[in-house]
Amino acid sequence: MKKSLFIYMFAAALAGGMITSCSNNEDPDVEVCPIEKTTFTDFSGLTLTYSGQPMLGKQVEFAPDATDATKAVITLSGAPLNLSRENAPVPTTAGVIPGEKTTVINVNLAINNDEVSFEGVDEKNGRKISYKGNVSKGGMTLDLTVEMPQNEYAGTTWNLIAPEKNPILIKWEADDFPFADGSWDIQNALNLIIGMTQIEGQTIPQMLCGILGEVSFLPDGNIQAKYKNSLADADWSTSPLNIATYTVTSDNELVLYINPAQIIAMNGGAEGSSNIIMTVFGMIPSLQSMLTDGIPLGVSKDENGVMSVYLEEEVLLPILQTVKPLLENEDTINMIMEMIKKSAGDMADLAEAFLRPILVAFPNIIDTTEDMEIGIKLEQAAE
């Protein structure tokens, strides 16, 4: 009897376990999201467009809701930039939406076999994102249309002021340096050199005005420019979208975000441009943080409405500090001067007389810098 009771109890327990096990199987009538949590990049199936144009160098994480197959969270952010330098930190590029390192959007899913789709609008902090996406195990397509918060620059277009007015802004307060039988200051020295130096019969301001046309601040946060690759070009080209974007601070100053992946693509994926970008950001640590956080730009307007947009001391000095050790080496200075004189032609002796004293004094100029603004001067284009 005891043996029969034991067998009965064992059989009942086994049956109960089987019933419990079956109840844990997926209910065929319950919809399940076919896509697992996945991060998509340019190299793993992401096709991202912003204002109808490709946007590279970003990543989007898709995370389905564990309790509701019709819901998910997508997280937009910048993709890490591989600097191709041993032991170099891998900085993350700026986010998809200007001024947002990450953008989190809750989406409602429509499931179609092994794919999901979603669309909707996300509004936050004065900006509006209209989105439409499709996700499969092989990739994600995401289209974004963005309206950034109202600001005084959005929808405006600017031109460089005329060459004779000097569209290049240089303000630099530092100790004077020995020159000839007296001394000179770096601000006046650079302004004189810029105004006097000619390349192919053009001064530097003339060349700048000849290759950089209109600069437009678009409502979606893009900055777009008209440009020429050379002075010989007959027509202006328009820069693609998503190369440079901006936000405006509470003080109406600008923050610029650049997209290295888009710049490389603009140059046809050329290895040279890629190497230059990787080297610059790899060598100058302060620039790496600006890939994510953006580059702060000072802005001021004079009584005539001329707007100056410039880099300030906090951005420029760390870069100059990186260059400084090179200019403490006499061999480096000699090499630079030989390169300059070779391209200066008949003005080689003048270049020697003007530039060598500046290069020799440059480390001390950097050390004694108290204030610095370097940028361009713009006037609003006529409507």
172 and 282 fall within a common domain: yes
DSSP 98: T
pLDDT, tens digit (0-9, with 9 covering 90-100), for 146-198: 999 999 999 999 999 999 999 999 999 999 999 988 999 999 999 998 888 87
pLDDT at 122: 98
193 and 108 fall within a common domain: no
**253, part of any domain:** yes
pLDDT at 275: 58
237 and 102 fall within a common domain: no
**22, part of any domain:** no
Q: Rounded to an integer, what distance in angstroms lies between the CA atom of residue 239 and that of residue 259?
A: 13
**13, part of any domain:** no
In Å, how far are 66, 120, 348 from 114, measured between CA atoms? Answer: 17, 21, 70
Q: Six-digit token pair at 173?
A: 């307060």
Among the candidates 103, 118, 147, a domain finishes at 147
351 and 274 fall within a common domain: yes
**30, part of any domain:** no
Question: DSSP letters along 230-249, please?
Answer: STT-SS-EEPPTTSEEEEE-
Neighbour-count burial for 142-170, b at 16+ CB within 10 Å, e otherwise: bbbebebeebebbebbbbbbebeebbbbb
pLDDT at 266: 79
187 and 81 fall within a common domain: no
242 and 205 fall within a common domain: yes
Contact 213, 225 (CB under 8 A): yes
Among the candidates 98, 117, 147, a domain finishes at 147
189 and 289 fall within a common domain: yes
312 and 167 fall within a common domain: yes
Count: domains in the chain = 2
pLDDT at 347: 76
pLDDT at 198: 77
pLDDT at 253: 87
**28, part of any domain:** no
Domain ranges, residue 320: 156-380
pLDDT, tens digit (0-9, with 9 covering 90-100), for 123-146: 999 999 999 999 999 899 999 999
163 and 130 fall within a common domain: no
pLDDT at 287: 76
Residue 203, classed as helix, strand or coil, is strand
**15, part of any domain:** no
123 and 189 fall within a common domain: no
**6, part of any domain:** no
pLDDT at 241: 96
Q: What is the pTM of this model?
A: 0.84
181 and 122 fall within a common domain: no
**26, part of any domain:** no
In Å, how far are 40, 72, 81, 143 from 62, measured between CA atoms? Answer: 8, 7, 21, 15
103 and 250 fall within a common domain: no
Among the candidates 126, 147, 168, a domain finishes at 147
Contact 42, 122 (CB under 8 A): no
Stretches in the chain below the pLDDT threshold 70: 1-30, 82-90, 268-283, 383
